[in-house]
A and B are shown apart, each in its own frame.
Chain A
Amino acid sequence: MSIAQRPLLTLAVLTLAAALGLPGSATAEVEKYVIDTANGHASINFRIRHLDFGWVYGRFNTFSGTFTYDTESPKNSGIELQIQTASVDSNQAERDKHLRNKDFLNVDKFPTATFKSTSYTEGLGTAELAGDFTLNGVTKPIRFQVERLGNGPDPWGNYRRAFMGTTEIPLKAFGIEDFGPTARSVELTFVIEGIRK
């Protein structure tokens, strides 16, 4: 049998299962999650080298998003994020003020950065998420290395699922002035925990 015919077969089996009211059809449901920003269980973090010396860590404090997770077929999972770039916080007010201006994040003109996934592949223990990242009005495809964290019921009656994604983006590609040879790119770490709807 050719690969192209397989989805059809799967569909036929699922349709049959649904028609017969088999419990197996419930597990094929795509789970929908809202990212738990309300209680601060998700974060958009970055770090960048300070010249030849240390690291500066920071966050975007205000963002929102949703994701889906298909337990049967993880490749059908996806995520959408909206990040308010004015919420940049590197724990230094004057630096953050400069980061918001037109040399860097240009937040008055482009207040929202977005990420929309285009593909997700799960391997043994690892996963990769690709998608379009829009920052400073520039959209580029980027790839996250994803670590699957926990999932299951929490003590308060909700069902949660969490992931952590890391990537590195070159600043110039997004029209942002870089900080010299050691700091041409910034590392992003997204901690995403969602509550199932």
Chain B
Amino acid sequence: MHWRNTEECYGAVAVALHWLMAILVVGLFALGVYMRSLTYHDAWYIRGPYLHKSVGLLLLGLLAARLVWRFVSPPPRVQLTLTPLVRRFSGLVHVVFYVLLFAIMLSGYLISTADGRPIEVFGWFAIPATLTGIPRQADLAGQVHLMLGYGVIAVAVVHALAALKHQFVDHDDTLLRMLGCRAFR
């Protein structure tokens, strides 16, 4: 299996980034929703946010790596069997994903750093605060974080349903492509 993307199929790096980020995005969303239900004495009241913030910032690293990789090794071309409208829409969904994920991470960062404290990533390193002291910063950033979180999951559902439809209704191997070149062949 190739590391790099080819004209026809995704290479190992793109496939790994796609599925790892998919798992983390869904996991972070589930943990985020769960965290909101916790009260003071719950064991996960401290552990949940710690894990959520650490993994969230690592995901930011993966998002950056993915963007860089797009330039190093451009994705395969979209199947020519698709109509121009569908191809354009698919491109738009990918841009929306990148923008939403970045905005979610930024708003999450602004919640936890509102008082100037850094964010610890598993105790390995800390990301310092920059923008602080906006009136009710943590609340505003929290509302944005919540709404965009639901938004990215909504887009992900559309994305997943579309992939399944292309694979099993249109039989154009859209889903198979994302399992790597060998699976595609």
Partner of A93, one of B39, B40, B41, B111: B111
Q: Which of B116-161 contact A (CB under 8 A)?
A: 117, 136-139, 142
| Nearest Cβ on chain A to B180's Cβ, whole angstroms | 41
| Nearest Cβ on chain B to A27's Cβ, whole angstroms | 45
How far is B132's CA from A180's CA once the two chains are assembled, in angstroms? 32
Q: How large is the interface on B (under 10, 10 to 19, 20 to 34, 35 or more residues)?
A: 10 to 19
- A97–B111 touching, CB < 8 Å: yes
| Nearest Cβ on chain B to A64's Cβ, whole angstroms | 17
A179 at the interface (CB under 8 A from B): yes
| Nearest Cβ on chain A to B136's Cβ, whole angstroms | 6
A103 at the interface (CB under 8 A from B): yes
Partner of B139, one of A91, A97, A177: A97
- A96–B41 touching, CB < 8 Å: no
Q: Which of B85-115 contact A (CB under 8 A)?
A: 111-115
How far is B112's CA from A45's CA once the two chains are assembled, in angstroms? 24
- B142–A177 touching, CB < 8 Å: no
> Interface size on A (CB < 8 Å)?
12
How far is B40's CA from A180's CA once the two chains are assembled, in angstroms? 9
- A179–B138 touching, CB < 8 Å: no
- B115–A92 touching, CB < 8 Å: yes
B49 at the interface (CB under 8 A from A): yes
Partner of B114, one of A93, A100, A180: A93
- B115–A103 touching, CB < 8 Å: no
Residues in A with CB closer than 8 Å to B111 are: 93-94, 97
How far is B57's CA from A107's CA once the two chains are assembled, in angstroms? 30
A86 at the interface (CB under 8 A from B): yes
**Residue contacts A-B, CB under 8 angstroms, 28 given:** A86-B139, A91-B115, A92-B115, A92-B117, A93-B111, A93-B112, A93-B113, A93-B114, A93-B115, A93-B117, A93-B137, A93-B138, A94-B49, A94-B111, A94-B112, A94-B138, A96-B115, A96-B138, A97-B111, A97-B138, A97-B139, A100-B139, A103-B39, A177-B39, A177-B40, A179-B40, A180-B40, A180-B41
Residues of chain A whose beta carbon lies under 8 Å from any beta carbon of chain B: 86, 91-94, 96-97, 100, 103, 177, 179-180
